[in-house]
Amino acid sequence: MRPARALIDLQALRHNYQLAREVTGAKALAVVKADAYGHGAVRVAQALEAEADGFAVACIEEALELRAAGISAPVLLLEGFFEADELPLIIEHDLWCVVHSLWQLDAIEQARLSKPLTVWLKLDSGMHRVGLHPKDYHEAYQRLLASGKVAKIVLMSHFARADELDCVRSDEQVAVFEAARKGLAAEVSLRNSPSVLGWPAMSSDWVRPGIMLYGATPFGEEQALAARLQPVMTLESKVICVRELPAGEPVGYGAKFVTSKPMRIGVVAMGYADGYPRHAPTGTPVLVAGQRSQLLGRVSMDMLCVDLTDVPQAGLGSTVELWGKNILASDVAVAAETIPYQIFCNLRRVPRLYCGA
Ligand SMILES: *Cc1c(COP(=O)(O)O)cnc(C)c1O
């Protein structure tokens, strides 16, 4: 069997969820969109269900996967419905629904619903992606109430730059939100992972942690609370071939790396078809036989090469951690000029093994 695998530590997942609760004192929707950022939405939701206040996903397909697996906790659709004909399913499966646009509000008014909806009414407080314009916010709230089709409304918004710890933009967004919701007596949900970890003074009845659940920091710098996160996924494989090369020999496609001295090189069963970033350059950290080393040359589809020159204990069959508790996914992301979100979401082909259930 090919030795590439992703170990998912559900105990670490629960630790990170509790941290989001503990530092905010708020109710927390565990964000499990995109197959729980590559960790497996059903297994992640099952592991958290006993303690989680609910879950959040990107679309009804993802929500129905959780329901089909028997998850009965609240599930929020972060973009609401894409077409009005999803509304009967939303009711049938008891899903919570974001309303971010006036067309969705029209659709709710026009729909015939067998039960009232729970709506999270989203304000565009300055990110300018989705969300109602502040001038429309009060009226949208009143229209939802007047429709008679809504049992509960939560007021929400989303931050564009909460991962930038010295940026004033998040405070400006809060000010826009506070002004827009003035006089509306409803619960509030503002905070994603970077604002949970980095903006302690911000208040929010509901928080929406995503990346922090999986143990990766959303910040590009050291941060005290982020340092308490426990990595959940360990992506590992094994050395399947070892070669000794003299100086001046190229390694891998395109000869992107050429030995500068006699070197020992290990070939690892891991490639971009598994989601390892192809753009990770020579020097990207890896752990081989318990020791830090580096990637060499271009990542290919099913294999990549690592430096064994200074890892004498490593050889054929040695375990290689690509990211996990020793090599942080966020550090691999920096090397590959991406973010840990994408590193995790790209995982595929590799079997996931769960522990700490
Ligand atoms: C994805 C998402 C989140 C979670 O964001 P993280 O940065 O991963 O914590 C929260 N809220 C909304 C609206 C989202 O789309």
Q: What is the pLDDT along the chain (357 residues), one digit of tens a residue?
A: 999 999 999 999 999 999 999 999 999 999 999 999 999 999 999 999 999 999 999 999 999 999 999 999 999 999 999 999 999 999 999 999 999 999 999 999 999 999 999 999 999 999 999 999 999 999 999 999 999 999 999 999 999 999 999 999 999 999 999 999 999 999 999 999 999 999 988 999 999 999 999 999 999 999 999 999 999 999 999 999 999 999 999 999 999 999 999 999 999 999 999 999 999 999 999 999 999 999 999 999 999 999 999 999 999 999 999 999 999 999 999 999 999 999 999 999 999 999 998
| DSSP summary character for residue 132 | B
Secondary-structure breakdown of the chain: helix, strand, coil percentages, each rounded to the nearest 5: 30, 25, 45
**Between 10-24 and 41-48, two packed helices, what is the crossing angle to 10 degrees?**
60
Helix (H) or strand (E) holding 286: strand 285-288
Is there a contact between 231 and 325 (Cβ–Cβ < 8 Å)?
yes
35 with 141, same domain?
A: yes
240 with 210, same domain?
A: no
Residue 301 counted as an annotated binding residue: yes
Q: Which atom of ligand 1 is nearest to the CA of 193?
A: 9
Is there a contact between 63 and 86 (Cβ–Cβ < 8 Å)?
no
Single out the residue of 293, 295, 257 nearest to residue 278, CA to CA.
Answer: 295
- Phi first, then psi, for residue 119 (nearest 5°) are -115, 135
Q: Which CA distances in Å does 45 have to 7, 27, 54?
A: 16, 16, 9
Q: What is the pLDDT of residue 357?
A: 81
Ligand 1 pocket, residue 95 CB under 6 Å: no
> Has 253 been annotated as catalytic?
yes
Q: Which residue from 24, 27, 31, 59 has its CB within 8 A of the most atoms of ligand 1, so it is best to mutate?
A: 31
97 with 144, same domain?
A: yes
Structural domain contains residue 130:
yes
Q: What is the pLDDT of residue 11?
A: 98
Q: Which of 137, 214, 253, 341 is catalytic?
A: 253
Q: What is the pLDDT of residue 35?
A: 98
CA of 83 to the centre of ligand 1 (A): 22
Structural domain contains residue 5:
no
245 with 203, same domain?
A: no
238 with 187, same domain?
A: no
Fill in the amino acid letter for 218: P
Q: Which residue from 77, 192, 213 has its CB within 8 A of the most atoms of ligand 1, so it is best to mutate?
A: 192
Residue 129 counted as an annotated binding residue: yes
Tens of pLDDT, residues 233-254: 999 999 999 999 999 999 999 9
270 with 187, same domain?
A: no
Q: Which atom of ligand 1 is nearest to the CA of 156?
A: 13
Residue with tokens 């894409």: 82
213 with 244, same domain?
A: no
CATH number (domain holding residue 266): 2.40.37.10
Task: Show the CA angle centred on residue 100, arms to residues 132 and 59, nearest 5°.
Answer: 165
Q: How many independent structural domains does the chain possess? A: 2
Q: Which of 33, 122, 149, 238 is catalytic?
A: 33
Structural domain contains residue 1:
no
45 with 183, same domain?
A: yes
53 with 191, same domain?
A: yes
CA of 123 to the centre of ligand 1 (A): 15
Ligand 1 pocket, residue 125 CB under 6 Å: no
> Has 238 been annotated as catalytic?
no
Q: What is the pTM of this model?
A: 0.97
Q: What is the spatial distance between Cα 338 and Cα 130, in angstroms, rounded to a whole number?
A: 23
Fill in the amino acid letter for 12: A
Q: Which atom of ligand 1 is nearest to the CA of 162?
A: 7
Ligand 1 pocket, residue 80 CB under 6 Å: no
Domain span at 343? 233-355
Q: What is the pLDDT of residue 334?
A: 97
**127 C-beta neighbours (distance < 10 Å), count:** 15
Task: Show the CA angle centred on residue 139, arms to residues 135 and 144, nearest 5°.
Answer: 140
246 with 149, same domain?
A: no
Single out the residue of 273, 296, 295, 272 nearest to residue 285, CA to CA.
Answer: 295
* Through-space distance between the first and last CA atoms of the chain, rounded to whole angstroms: 25
Helix (H) or strand (E) holding 140: helix 134-147
